[in-house]
Structure 1
Amino acid sequence: MINASEVFHTVGFAAVSLACGYSLLALLAVCLGPKKRPRDIASPNAPPVTVLKPLCGAEAELERCLRSFCDQDYSEFQIVFGIQDGDDPALAVARRVRDAYPGHDIEIVVDTRQWGTNRKVSNLINMMTAARHDRLVLADSDILVGRDYLARVTAPLADPGVGLATCLYRGWAGPGLWSRLGALFIDDWFMPSVLISHRLGNDEFVSGATIAVRRETLDAIGGFGAVADRVADDHALGECVRGLGLQVAVCDYVVSTWVYNSGPATLVDQETRWMRTIHSLQPLSYDLLFVTLALPLIAISLVLDWRQAPVLALIGLTVIARAALHGVQNVRAGRRSWHNLAGLPLREALTAYSWLLGLAVRRVRWRGRRYWIADDGSLKHVAPRD
């Protein structure tokens, strides 16, 4: 006859063991970073580069981010700012940046044409008419970089076997609790999971924070039009490039992404879209992401088996590992190790909530528009309700 207390003990111990094992693995992956490639060093005679910056809306730090792409230690580069609406406030910011750097090669493309449901990709297609160079770097509008950025992220393209280069990113929180929680999602949950996957041999990670690619490679996959209806256009580009038999390189360079959420609704909208995107790409792996949710697993173990010393020891080790991971990420970002430590319990609870929404929700909101994410990762526009 099955003893109920033994079942509770087994389930509680298993829950905290999963939480502890994953937390230690995440800490190790963050400490090790991405797998090292042969050192990619940009040649002093490196080919010229066109930087593509699709814009939509004027975030508080947009001008600072755009200026960081102008302040590069690189011999020759062009910057193309793309906007799909002449009334977009980002246009005024782009013009200010262009006027502040009269010696730079900066183009502004305003083009309303729509080539697919993914408006960012449509913007990129329109921008390509102004791109003059054969090496291309595309980066989201909310990315802040250092002066060595272009040299570092384009260096892997010197290897003919590399078709695309990308890089990791960290959260750069705007004012307010919800912005800090959004940055914690990136630093303490998403990036560690990416690094674990990378260490285990999965080379599927590609981030819109930075994509460097040769024009000939882009042409060979059919241009940006090949991913014009995909919600995860960055991941889809990586798939297409690997389909050519070329590698995707993850640079040992980390950019910062501006995170601003005015309240819980915007935070949940953003993270639901991310979670549903992950679900559409890897449904089985997504179901297994519950092992990353330390707080719920600890809560289960405490309810079922809180009197057992091994369970309490594993809970303590899990808490230490999560706090250490948080500290390492802070130090690497130039912050104090304990910065925003008190936000971790709420962040864990929100991540669990977002994960559950990712299982159930197909409709998402992106840049003020509503979309339906299909099982194959395609993006369908949902007309606004009357």
Structure 2
Amino acid sequence: MLLFAFAVMAAQLAVLTALYLLGRRHVRGGAGPEPMPETCPRLGVIVPVTGDHPGMREAVASLLDQDYPDFVAVFVTATADDPAVALVRGVAGDDPRVLLVTAGPAARCGQKNHNILAGMRAAATAEVFVYCDSSHVADRHFLTNLAAPVIRGDAPMTSGFHKIVPGDAATGTIGMAVTCMALHLLQPIRAITQPWGGAMAISRQAFDRFGLRELWGSNIVDDFSMGPHLHRFGVAAWPVAAACLETPMAGMTLARWDDWLTRQLLYLKFCIPPGWLVSIVAVFLLSAPPLLALCVLAAWAFGAAGGAAAVAALAYLAAFSGLGLCYRGLCPRKVGVFAWLRGYAATFAMLAWCFGRTFATNTMSWRGIAYKVGWGGVVREVLRKG
């Protein structure tokens, strides 16, 4: 039993080390900004919006303050009386590049997908589509960085990502930062990378060729559904290190972190069921070792394990913490060592808890709407509308 426990600990350390070494350059920005393309076709920047949340004004303003010379920004709400309508109008003023679109309630797909498709219909003159969330802050080169590989013909589709910028040392805030960092580190691993819906670009031609309108029109989510669908065509999203947004965050509670991570894992379950099943092993490998090490130390304290086992468990915990400090070096805003290690350790426990929750449901609830979801992420029924 001890040999098995220490084998799992060693495997976890190997995985965490490999993830850090393979992804750190990408997280730090890769080779730097993309050059401005020689030709600049019109971009349709599609931004589903709802509510009026802290940081939204800054995020919306950043998407309009871009160095790309020709784009139309389409902000889409489900209803005309959504508070986001007034927010966008207040930020955009009379900017002629901005369109406001009301999509209406979704009946056959996730509301975000429904909003995106409505926004694309409004961007009739766009040759390349860019999809963004309204909760992340972009630098002035974001659109250029994200769209340039598509315009050059290097890839039909690109994906960026985002970094959590912690505004406090709350365990939930740091845990969110660690979780998103881990996903960010996975982005350059082309065999498993998935597009991220908060920063994607695709040519109109590729969008039509791959049948994404039909896919999104019946699916619960945009990005998770695209990964396996595009793989059937031998296509993967091109990760663009320089197209990285910032997400200022403070006051994240454990409950909100729990809901967010459970939702991400449910997307995996619904859209990529084989990947979800394989993840059972991965989640055990990542989450069990700290608990196993503590159990070994407890066994030593009660005389049920030898001193050598206790030393090995302490060595594992030291290595585990040391890797956590390496990850801390990738965070865009430094936090205290103790606070970071607390959030880092909590991430592994939260992963196991949230993954366990995905076994108990086939429904998805988000922003006041519940969906019954089938194989491949297909929406079977909209159960409740908020």
Alignment correspondent of 2:226: 237
Residue identity matched to 1:276:
L
Alignment correspondent of 1:30: 23
Alignment correspondent of 2:114: 122
Contact 1:173-1:179 at 8 Å conserved across structures: no
Of 220, 238, 241 in structure 2, the residue corresponding to residue 252 of structure 1 is 241
Alignment correspondent of 1:329: 330
Alignment correspondent of 1:296: 291
> Alignment identity in percent?
18
Alignment correspondent of 2:302: none
> 275-284 or 371-380, which moves further after superposition?
371-380
Superposition pairs of residues 10-159 of structure 1, within 5 angstroms: 10-33=3-26, 40-99=34-93, 102-112=94-104, 114=106, 116-131=108-123, 132-159=125-152
Alignment correspondent of 1:367: 367
Aligned counterparts of 1:246 and 1:167: Cα–Cα separation in 2: 16
Alignment correspondent of 2:268: 278
Residue identity matched to 2:260:
Q
1:91 positional shift: 0.9
1:188 positional shift: 4.5
1:167 positional shift: 1.1
Q: 5+ residue gaps in structure 2?
A: 300-304
Alignment correspondent of 1:268: 258
1:379 positional shift: 3.3
Aligned counterparts of 2:258 and 2:381: Cα–Cα separation in 1: 20
Contact 1:116-1:229 at 8 Å conserved across structures: yes
Instruction: Tell me: CA distance 1:300–1:382, structure 2 relative to 1, closer, same or farther (3 Å).
Output: farther
Instruction: Tell me: CA distance 1:240–1:12, structure 2 relative to 1, closer, same or farther (3 Å).
Output: closer
Contact 1:204-1:235 at 8 Å conserved across structures: no
> 337-346 or 358-367, which moves further after superposition?
337-346
- 1:350 matched to 2:350? The reply is yes
1:43 positional shift: 1.8
> 267-276 or 204-213, which moves further after superposition?
267-276
Query: How many residues are treated as equivalent by the alignment?
Result: 369
Give the 3-state SS of the residue equivalent to 2:330 in structure 1. Answer: helix
Instruction: Tell me: CA distance 1:351–1:72, structure 2 relative to 1, closer, same or farther (3 Å).
Output: same
Contact 2:66-2:141 at 8 Å conserved across structures: yes
Residue identity matched to 2:22:
A
Instruction: Tell me: CA distance 1:279–1:244, structure 2 relative to 1, closer, same or farther (3 Å).
Output: closer
Give the 3-state SS of the residue equivalent to 1:296 in structure 2. Answer: helix
Residue identity matched to 2:126:
H
Residue identity matched to 1:80:
V
1:153 positional shift: 0.6
Instruction: Tell me: CA distance 1:345–1:39, structure 2 relative to 1, closer, same or farther (3 Å).
Output: closer
Residue identity matched to 1:363:
T
Give the 3-state SS of the residue equivalent to 1:81 in structure 2. Answer: strand
1:313 positional shift: 1.9
Contact 1:170-1:183 at 8 Å conserved across structures: no
Give the 3-state SS of the residue equivalent to 1:162 in structure 2. Answer: coil
Aligned counterparts of 1:251 and 1:118: Cα–Cα separation in 2: 26
Give the 3-state SS of the residue equivalent to 1:166 in structure 2. Answer: strand
Residue identity matched to 1:149:
F
Contact 1:372-1:381 at 8 Å conserved across structures: yes
Aligned counterparts of 2:165 and 2:337: Cα–Cα separation in 1: 16
1:231 positional shift: 2.9
Aligned counterparts of 1:300 and 1:269: Cα–Cα separation in 2: 29
Aligned counterparts of 2:266 and 2:252: Cα–Cα separation in 1: 22
Instruction: Tell me: CA distance 1:105–1:259, structure 2 relative to 1, closer, same or farther (3 Å).
Output: same
Q: Please report the RMSD computed on the Cα atoms of aligned residues, expressed in angstroms.
A: 3.0
Alignment correspondent of 1:5: none
Residue identity matched to 2:245:
V
1:34-67 superposed Cα distances (whole Å, 9 cap, x missing partner): 7979985322532221111011222211111000
> 128-137 or 222-231, which moves further after superposition?
222-231
- 1:313 matched to 2:315? The reply is yes
1:164-219 superposed Cα distances (whole Å, 9 cap, x missing partner): 10012212456783651452353354334x24xx43x4154100111101111112
Contact 2:158-2:200 at 8 Å conserved across structures: yes
Aligned counterparts of 2:9 and 2:379: Cα–Cα separation in 1: 37
Aligned counterparts of 2:277 and 2:70: Cα–Cα separation in 1: 45
Contact 1:171-1:186 at 8 Å conserved across structures: no
Residue identity matched to 1:378:
V
Alignment correspondent of 1:162: 155
Give the 3-state SS of the residue equivalent to 1:329 in structure 2. Answer: coil
1:351 positional shift: 2.3
Residue identity matched to 2:225:
A
Q: 5+ residue gaps in structure 1?
A: 1-7
Contact 2:32-2:241 at 8 Å conserved across structures: no
